[in-house]
Structure 1
Amino acid sequence: MKTFLVLAGSLCATIGAQAQMQKKQVKSPSKEPMNVLFILADDYGWNDLSCMGSKYYETPNLDRLAERGVKFTNAYATCQVSSPSRASIMTGKYTPRHGITDWIGEKSGEDWRSMKRHSKLLPADYIWNLPQDEYTLAECLRDNGYTTFIAGKWHLGEEGSWPEDHGFDINKGGWSAGNPKGGYFVPYNNPKLTDGPKGENLSMRLSNETVSFIREHEKKNKKKPFFAYLSFYAVHGPIQTTKENWNYFRDKAEQLGIKESGFAVDRTLPVRQTQDNPVYAGLIKQMDDAIGNVLDAIAEMGLDKNTLIIFTSDNGGVSTGDSYSTSLLPLRGGKGRQWEGGIRVPLLMQYPDCQSGTICESPVIGTDFYPTILDYAGLPLVPEQHKDGVSIFPLINKDKIEERALFWHYPHYGNQGGDPSSIIRKGDWKLIYYYEDQHCELYNLAIDISESEPLNIQYPEKVKELKTLLDAWLIEVDAKIPLPDLEYIPQKEAQVKQVWKTEVLQKQEKNRMQMFKSDWEPNEDWWGSMITID
């Protein structure tokens, strides 16, 4: 990085101006106040939808949203893990600016040594609570007359930094935890969500809470717009479903043909190569059913005529680590990793009078939601807050926005095998900079979406150009970088990675095949999904 510091400093003003561009407002096509329904999935992969190419998972309700609205093929989260990207949605800022660069709760600095990874670097420290001085999207909408509501995951700080502390009038289920502590069936072990009847599914419960809020709001405040943030815990691990769903998708896997092997090691951990996990498929179905429940209610109440609906994910799907749930091929990697599988996500939008079946191929990113929502609602933009986002409505309206670079900064080791790195994408070119040994990888995504062949040797000037821009951006946002661990012992790290490549690989292959056995069951009541009578 030091090679380009002088030149990088001179480019900071250019990068800053680029982040402030495109303030032109697109007026709302409706005279009525515009409602906003923002649906956020957790750890949901780019191609984990039927409408994005999956032949195994079934997502009829998300497909319906795509058919009636806009599908983005180059949409990105601002980070390969959840808390940072969620904070970017709320703030309109890249992760180094708001300070949350890893999932809240992960160790950093010298505390990282307790993880026994024996890594070469000590991950950078980061903020554990969404700063109170950030003017969140929810606060902005509330201050402009919206009733604000959240159902589901928050994961942006401890008590005192929960949704109600950052602009949400009503909170159903959002607190410190980043995963469903009680699983996907009652009891939920969630202090912000009371337990329902035995056998109740968490995704449908959050959907029902959202529908109840909208119905009650329409009865009491029909002339007042709402912002409903339906933030699923699905499809984060631990993955769980019902016996009925498992059986259906187990049979489907057999019909499609079960491959003998389902994993391959990519540098560190085993990476899932097949979409054939019947439990994960069932979990997706539960979430899709819950989404359909909300979409049906919106249509029934006639609110589809003045409601902007957005669906996306907080980071890529889990192909390594955690539950080893899915395959994102042809994208490389998944959650926690620096390749496209970790940061490229599904994005669907539907709004009144939009052209059905529109496909947008322009790159967009999570910082864009804040100005886009304000733009479409006909509200003034707040450029000093959402300084890293632009409204993407001109793209949808067949217009253009000025070409810009997109950036990522993850000075941490992912649980899923990711490396401390920073990334820039400009046009079709993507450069990854690795902090362990200061090397770069250059890819052209138009010809190599799988990032299989670095092009550093063929295009040295492109490497220099993008690295210079990346250095300038890192200076501008005051990015924290990982530091060398003075206690690093290469042999110990090699031993850890050898276990990953052998024992972990064998374990995952065994787990995968066991789920296809006709008598397989996780426990006697299928994680509590079977209703029992006391």
Structure 2
Amino acid sequence: MRKSKFLGIICLLILVCSCKEIEKEVPQQPNIVLFLVDDMGWQDTSVPFWNQRTAYNDLYHTPNMERLAAEGMKFTQAYATPVCSPTRVSLMTGMNAARHRVTNWTLRKDALQPMETNHPTLSFPEWNVNGMSPVEGDPKAVHATPLPKLLQDAGYYTVHTGKAHFGAIGTPGDDPLNLGFDVNIAGHAAGAPQSYLGMENFGNGKEGKEVWAVPGLEKYHGDDIYLTEALTQESLSALDSVKGKKPFFLYMSHYAVHTPIMGDKRYFQKYVDAGLDSTEAKYASMVEGMDKSLGDIMDYLEKNQLEDNTIILFMSDNGGLSAVARGGEPHTHNRPLASGKGSIYEGGIREPMLVKWPGTTIPGASTDDYVIIEDFYPTILEMAGISGNNKVQTIDGKSFTSILKGEVAIEEERPLFWHYPNEWGPEGPGIGAFSAIRSGDWKLIYFHEDQHMELYNITEDIGETQNMVSTQAEKTREMAQILSEHLVSVNAQMPSNKETGQTIPLPNQKINISK
């Protein structure tokens, strides 16, 4: 009897130990922080994303981006769209802008932008002005399964903080809670804050400016606090309730560094002392305040022993603002990249991107493999171990986990596409209605208004100074054909000529593609 009891205890101990071993072997779902900055240029950081440092890298102070780069992987050729809403919808749906048709920035329900209705020569298509929607049948909105909804369904606690800008006022997409977020901190339809200052109630109470006032931060009204800091504090408070209990997805989507350019007084004077004019000193202080937010989140993860199981992805939603509102000469703030926000040139679409995936990315690694914003959707799902076909939309993005693992690129000379049959407003180089493709070293741009093309070897000519259409006729034909086939395959919208009423032809219809 004693022997039988002894054997039973031994068996129980073996079973307990075996269960513990199995528990150790079952991978825990990683926490995910997606840190998105608004209007941050490729060089608005002390981290160099080129093969050399630039004067801008020495101007800005972003020690926490340096810290993240040292702990993770740097992407030197990461792309978004030239303006905000198309990027954000691509991020949340995995779709290319030509397919989802939220091709310009959203705000008013069912309404084209005034700069589009007043364009002198082009009539613009009825794009999806109402943004994205989780509900089928919403007029002028793209129906898609949002990324946070899939994460939420898989057991993630999902937190949205800051700028949303997914849908027009009064539509399902204007509230992040409708898109799969458990918590929404200060997100609504507008794409910019009326004020960054708590002392100004973040713009609340200003007559006629209600649409831009930042919602949901009443506890900070009247306080001497900057918006970036308030959003960070609220985000970390939201995580306190679940840390260590269930995986979380924090979408830290800062309003900074979008206009209005308002100085963060914690850092403003140092840039004035460095010789910057008042506007640029304010802008630089906004960048550094954003960087402090990143550092605070990283510190929080370390303090709570979460850093080893938390993935951090850092990205900007479009190129750096340069056409308006900045100090100094317009269209120069991203050099050697041409132009800036709103432009199809590299200054308008190339972004600073960093990824830390503990146990996967090699600390201090860097890659020249290019990626685009819709790639984040399948990548994050793969990181979280979520598979299946429970998505209503066609996914254009490709997972870049293989790059993070130090393996092969996503696809040899994979083509990337941009499509903007719209009008942004400000004028400048590369700003206007266009379609474009990048494949390997080459980039072809097709401008809709006058139907001219530009071809650049981006590797050799990062500033896009030498248009090679006339000397590389075969490459031009080849890329125009691939671009046109893509536009046809996704049923892309095109503007039309106001005078003739004729739809703007596809790029392959403007050149002789026969050999």
Encode CA deviations 1:389-427: one digit per residue, 9 max, x unaligned: 111011122211222100000111223321100010000
CA displacement at 1:481 relative to structure 2: 1.1
1:146 equivalent in structure 2: 156
1:528 equivalent in structure 2: none
2:301 equivalent in structure 1: 298
2:461 corresponds, among 448, 471, 487, to: 448
2-side partners of 1:166 and 1:174: how far apart?
12
Go from structure 1 to structure 2 and tell me whether the alpha carbon gap of 1:323 and 1:150 turns closer, same or farther (over 3 Å shift): same
2:177 equivalent in structure 1: 164
Contact kept in structure 2, 1:150 and 1:174, CA below 8 Å: yes
2-side partners of 1:206 and 1:338: how far apart?
31
Go from structure 1 to structure 2 and tell me whether the alpha carbon gap of 1:244 and 1:145 turns closer, same or farther (over 3 Å shift): closer
Say which is worse superposed, 379-388 or 166-175, in terms of deviation.
379-388
Encode CA deviations 1:353-377: one digit per residue, 9 max, x unaligned: 2211000110101111111111122
2:236 equivalent in structure 1: 211
Q: Which amino acid aligns with 1:156?
A: F
The aligned runs of 1:23-102 (5 Å cut-off) are 31-52=27-48, 53=53, 54-77=57-80, 79-102=81-104
CA displacement at 1:281 relative to structure 2: 0.4
The aligned runs of 1:276-355 (5 Å cut-off) are 277-323=280-326, 327-353=333-359, 354-355=361-362
1:468 corresponds, among 473, 476, 481, to: 481
Contact kept in structure 1, 2:279 and 2:326, CA below 8 Å: no
Go from structure 1 to structure 2 and tell me whether the alpha carbon gap of 1:125 and 1:29 turns closer, same or farther (over 3 Å shift): farther
The aligned runs of 1:512-531 (5 Å cut-off) are none
2-side partners of 1:94 and 1:399: how far apart?
25
1:366 equivalent in structure 2: 373
Contact kept in structure 2, 1:371 and 1:386, CA below 8 Å: no
Q: Which amino acid aligns with 1:131?
A: S
1:395 equivalent in structure 2: 403
Tell me if 1:412 matches 2:403.
Answer: no
Contact kept in structure 1, 2:117 and 2:124, CA below 8 Å: no
CA displacement at 1:460 relative to structure 2: 0.3
2-side partners of 1:277 and 1:381: how far apart?
47
Q: Secondary structure at the match of 1:253?
A: coil
Encode CA deviations 1:433-468: one digit per residue, 9 max, x unaligned: 011111110000010000001001111000000000
2:261 corresponds, among 223, 226, 239, to: 239
Contact kept in structure 2, 1:370 and 1:386, CA below 8 Å: no
Q: Which amino acid aligns with 1:37?
A: V
Contact kept in structure 2, 1:30 and 1:306, CA below 8 Å: no
2-side partners of 1:399 and 1:343: how far apart?
26
Contact kept in structure 2, 1:367 and 1:386, CA below 8 Å: no
Go from structure 1 to structure 2 and tell me whether the alpha carbon gap of 1:119 and 1:299 turns closer, same or farther (over 3 Å shift): farther
Unaligned 5+ runs, structure 2? 1-23, 135-142, 205-213, 502-515
Contact kept in structure 1, 2:196 and 2:226, CA below 8 Å: no
Could you say what the CA RMSD is over the residues aligned between the two structures, in angstroms? 2.4
2:9 equivalent in structure 1: none
Unaligned 5+ runs, structure 1? 1-27, 259-274, 489-534
Q: Secondary structure at the match of 1:425?
A: strand
Say which is worse superposed, 243-252 or 407-416, in terms of deviation.
243-252
TM-score by length of structure 1 reads 0.77
1-side partners of 2:107 and 2:101: how far apart?
14
CA displacement at 1:253 relative to structure 2: 2.6
Structure with higher Rg: it is 2
1-side partners of 2:95 and 2:400: how far apart?
15
Q: Which amino acid aligns with 1:216?
A: S
2-side partners of 1:463 and 1:387: how far apart?
28
Q: Which amino acid aligns with 1:125?
A: E
Among the aligned pairs, what percent are the same residue?
Answer: 37
2-side partners of 1:367 and 1:427: how far apart?
18
CA displacement at 1:49 relative to structure 2: 0.9
2:218 corresponds, among 181, 186, 194, to: 194
Q: Secondary structure at the match of 1:217?
A: coil
Contact kept in structure 2, 1:185 and 1:199, CA below 8 Å: yes
Tell me if 1:376 matches 2:383.
Answer: yes
Encode CA deviations 1:157-191: one digit per residue, 9 max, x unaligned: 12432100111110001101100123344412323
Q: Which amino acid aligns with 2:262?
A: Q
CA displacement at 1:286 relative to structure 2: 1.1
2-side partners of 1:304 and 1:244: how far apart?
27
CA displacement at 1:131 relative to structure 2: 2.5
Encode CA deviations 1:457-499: one digit per residue, 9 max, x unaligned: 11100000000000011111111111222399xxxxxxxxxxx
2-side partners of 1:435 and 1:29: how far apart?
55
2-side partners of 1:476 and 1:377: how far apart?
30
1-side partners of 2:373 and 2:267: how far apart?
32
Say which is worse superposed, 372-381 or 32-41, in terms of deviation.
372-381
